[in-house]
Structure 1
């Protein structure tokens, strides 16, 4: 059973943001992962911890077990002013999980599709 780590923002911690649609998408993706037989760990970054605390927690999570695929959510990639965080996340995943496939999504709802594609690419290497 493949182990998946999904990294994204905790939508409840983003100032001035309606968390409901993203939270529902995260729940939907988690159910889909389970239905596909994928074991998902969810790592949600608290928007208030972008001062370095998030990196320490991410490193701890990445070192806690081996993952077959790490999904980096769209909020971390696409948010304005978040390029440094995105680079940090990609590098930490690369350094601490070198055997894991890396997937990106458009929204939480399409996460399982992108994870399956990344796992397929990994198998076909």
Structure 2
């Protein structure tokens, strides 16, 4: 029997394309660290990072990522879920996951540091 690695899609905000006076480096570093942690645990991961600077067609970017593979889990990051300003984007992403990856579990993290643990909670 051939075992394949679990596949996780992480949908989040690109910290370098979020307007405002803030330092994107800590979030970018956390994304890089979580990507390494997924690999260390034998989990294939793809990050789908969205800009809030108007440079992305969010529906197209997310749909392309969802259709790129057969995902066991889709994690939607807190930057999308927690801010009232992103409610419509969050709703749009949930519906796209439902449409294009209906068999995937959906996970939510609390902080950038617990992305891997959040996905593992929902992996079979």
- Scaled by the length of structure 1, the TM-score of the pair is 0.90
Match of 2:112 among 108, 117, 122: 108
CA RMSD of aligned residues (A): 1.3
Q: What 5-or-longer segments of structure 1 have no aligned partner?
A: none
**1:86 has 2:87 as partner:** no
Report if the CA contact (8 A) 2:19-2:53 is conserved.
no
Secondary structure of the residue aligned to 2:58 is helix
Structure with the largest fraction of helix? 1
**CA-to-aligned-CA distance 1:67-97 (integer Å, 9 cap, x gap):** 0100000000012311111011111011110
In structure 1, what is the equivalent of residue 10 of structure 2? 6
Aligned pairs for 1:59-78 (under 5 A) are 59-78=63-82
Residue 49 (structure 1) shift: 3.1
Secondary structure of the residue aligned to 1:71 is strand
Structure 2 CA distance for aligned equivalents of residues 36 and 108 of structure 1 = 17
In structure 1, what is the equivalent of residue 53 of structure 2? 48
Aligned pairs for 1:17-32 (under 5 A) are 17-32=22-37
- Scaled by the length of structure 2, the TM-score of the pair is 0.90
